[in-house]
Amino acid sequence: MPLHEAVAGSEWWRSGVIYQVYPRSFADSNADGMGDLNGVTSKLDHLKNLGVDAIWLSPFYPSPQKDAGYDVANYTDVDPLFGSLADFDVMLEKAHELGLRVMIDLVPNHTSDQHPWFQEAIPAEPGSAARAFYHFKDGRGESGELPPNNWLSLFGGPAWTRTDDGQWYLHLFDSSQPDLNWENPKVREAFEDILRFWLDRGVDGFRVDQPHAMGKQAGLPDHPYVETAGAGFIEGEPDPPMWFQDSVHEIFRSWRKILESYDGERAMCGEAYVLPLTKMAQWVRPDEFHQTFNFRFLDSPWEKDSVVAAINESFHAFDQVGAPSTWVLNNHDTIRHASRFGGDYGRATASDGIGPDSPQPDNALGLAKARAATLFMLGLPGASYIYQGEELGLPEHTTLEAKNRQDPTFFRTNGERVGRDGARVPLPWEKGGSTNGFSTSEEAWLPQPESFASLSRDQQGQEGTTLWLYKRALELRKQRKLGEGSFEWSSQEGLLCHQNGSTLVVHNFENSAAELPAGAVLLSSAPLEGSKLPANASCWLAI
Ligand code: NOJ
């Protein structure tokens, strides 16, 4: 009996491949050095051609851009930096014409401090209705000079900032990102309207930012083990008062109902960093999220035991609730896997980045492992996420100078954690010029490293390139229905193998080439050595 049986449901989000577009770094249409929606529209056919089913757009809303748009000042408009609502509609229509679904980012845990709700709250009285949109509290100490509790910001430093009238407001991220108070029914209503606004426009769903932070324990008590967990949590310890609160589930249920009142299999994926996965599965019960990112898989070091454990736990947990597992190796918050796998950089989601003073990755090893890991991942049943640029084998920009840094993590830790800019560098489309086809301006918002020129999309048509590997894998995945398939481990000396229907997915975690099992080779992440699969390579066989 397979560990995971082919699922009955045929909805697209159970098995689709979703490509994350990071708008500011995708393509620039108006020569200001910043990507935009018209840039996305102009390149959609490349994504169709790549073979993905859907795109997810990171935020493009009006924003002071203190956290690259995850600080939203208006949830129902487009920042002029990225275009207009009309440009959005054109993009959506073109995507739909091409058969691509479009998910957009919803950021409900916090707003920008420039959002009218917060702008109204700041001059309002303590205890007023305007302040009740957020978490405003009196401080501790004789004159309230100490923060109301010991919570820390995930970007470094305390999670509280004091206002001129002496109260403090909560921000689990930057001080420019005040946390909303989800106990307030007005906040709930406002977000239901926001969902409808975009669903009416035709979006296919939402990627929901930090949903596990939305609920806060009543009274906002101290984090019981902040000394060891910092802003986070430790698996096995009790849930800290700002993570995984049960009060959030009824919010997701109400959203699910709204999505289901629309036609066309609209879906939401929660960026729910919830562990263990058995708990995460509670978030994808049939009336809550359709999917959540599989951070357990993303955070696994690319080592045999850890990958095996992550996969086993994923199927056990998600199958219990009839939800698909998702698989993901990169996003705009992690060190790109082509660099991450070329060194020892800890958890992918630690958001620490690699700076000029850090040990530099072994790029050749990183890329070999990254290509193999992706081929292994795309052979797994469930939905998969790809982050823009990984199909080109792009490395992290590891030598960005301090003057180029924009991530609040860098500033809130005085440069101790360089942060995530290195994964957010503009894409190279055509080799040459100052931005390799990203923009016609002299400069992009972040400079590209030299290696991007030869990795440009126009340099990668031929067999063996990373772009070719991704395209071929997505084509075969579709033909062989791997996304909808089943999963069972298959034992083979020296190789890690799993079977998905009539496809055997093989990875070589050993130090030397190993004999492939019987079967016709469909695709390999590295040239075979006769009948042997090299170390750090994956391959698909028809059996
Ligand atoms: C998760 C997003 O992916 C990240 O980029 C952002 O900084 C935080 N949430 C805060 O919104």
Chain centroid offset of residue 23 CA: 14
What residues does ligand 1 touch, defined as CB less than 6 Å away? 67, 70, 107, 173, 209-210, 271, 332-333
**pTM beyond 0.95, yes or no:** yes
CA–centroid distance, 209 to ligand 1, in Å, is 7
pLDDT number for residue 196: 98
For the CA of 70, the nearest atom of ligand 1: 11
CA torsion sign for 13, 16, 19, 23 is: negative
Q: What is the pLDDT of residue 8?
A: 66
State the distance from the centre of ligand 1 to the C-alpha of 147, rounded, in angstroms. Answer: 24
- Give 307's Cβ-side CA count (13 Å radius): 20
Distances (CA, A) of 472 to 428, 464, 466, 523: 21, 10, 10, 8
Mutation choice for ligand 1 from 57, 70, 175, 409, CB with most ligand atoms inside 8 A:
70
Nearest CA owner, ligand 1 atom 1: 209
Q: What is the pLDDT of residue 7?
A: 76
Protein residue whose Cα sits closest to atom 5 of ligand 1: 333
Q: Which residues contact 191 (CB under 8 A, 6 or more apart)?
A: 75, 106, 108, 255
Reported as a single tens digit per residue, the pLDDT across 80-121 is 999 999 999 999 999 999 999 999 999 999 999 999 999 999
User: How far, CA to CA in Å, does 178 sit from each of 85, 115, 182, 213, 349?
Assistant: 26, 10, 12, 12, 22
CA nearest neighbour of 394 among 439, 333, 355, 340: 340
User: What are the backbone angles phi and psi of residue 110, rounded to the nearest 5°?
Assistant: -150, 160
- How many helices (H) and strands (E) the chain has is answered by 13, 18
Beta-carbon count within 10 A of 11 CB: 12
Tokens standing for 74?
Answer: 């208006």
What residue has token string 């930012």? 209
Q: Which residues carry out catalysis?
A: 209, 260
What distance in Å separates the CA atoms of residue 349 and residue 28, rounded to the nearest whole number?
28
Q: How is residue 137 written in tokens? A: 């509290």
Q: Provide the pLDDT for residue 424.
A: 98
Q: To which residue do tokens 């084509």 refer?
A: 475
How many angstroms is it from 518 CA to the middle of ligand 1? 45
d(CA 104, CA 85): 13
CA of 160 to the centre of ligand 1 (A): 18
Whether the CB-CB separation of 460 and 436 falls below 8 Å is answered with no
Using most ligand atoms within 8 A of CB, pick from 61, 63, 67, 413 the residue to mutate for ligand 1: 67
Peptide bond into 276 cis (omega under 30): yes
Model confidence over 201-232: pLDDT tens digits? 999 999 999 999 999 999 999 999 999 999 99
Cα atoms in the 13 Å half-sphere on the side-chain side of 214: 26
pLDDT of residue 493: 84
H or E segment to which residue 47 belongs: helix 37-50
Q: What is the pLDDT along the chain (543 residues), one digit of tens a residue?
A: 889 998 767 999 999 999 999 999 999 999 999 999 999 999 999 999 999 999 999 999 999 999 999 999 999 999 999 999 999 999 999 999 999 999 999 999 999 999 999 999 999 999 999 999 999 999 999 999 999 999 999 999 999 999 999 999 999 999 999 999 999 999 999 999 999 999 999 999 999 999 999 999 999 999 999 999 999 999 999 999 999 999 999 999 999 999 999 999 999 999 999 999 999 999 999 999 999 999 999 999 999 999 999 999 999 999 999 999 999 999 999 999 999 999 999 999 988 999 999 999 999 999 999 999 999 999 999 999 999 999 999 999 999 999 999 999 999 999 999 999 999 999 999 999 999 999 999 999 999 999 999 999 999 989 999 999 999 999 999 999 999 999 999 988 889 999 999 999 999 999 999 999 999 999 999 999 999 999 999 999 999
A 10 A CB-CB count for 511 gives 8
CB neighbour burial string for 169-199, b if at least 16 within 10 angstroms, e if fewer: bbbbbbbbbbbbbbeeeebbeebeebbeebb
Cβ pair 61, 78 in contact under 8 A: yes
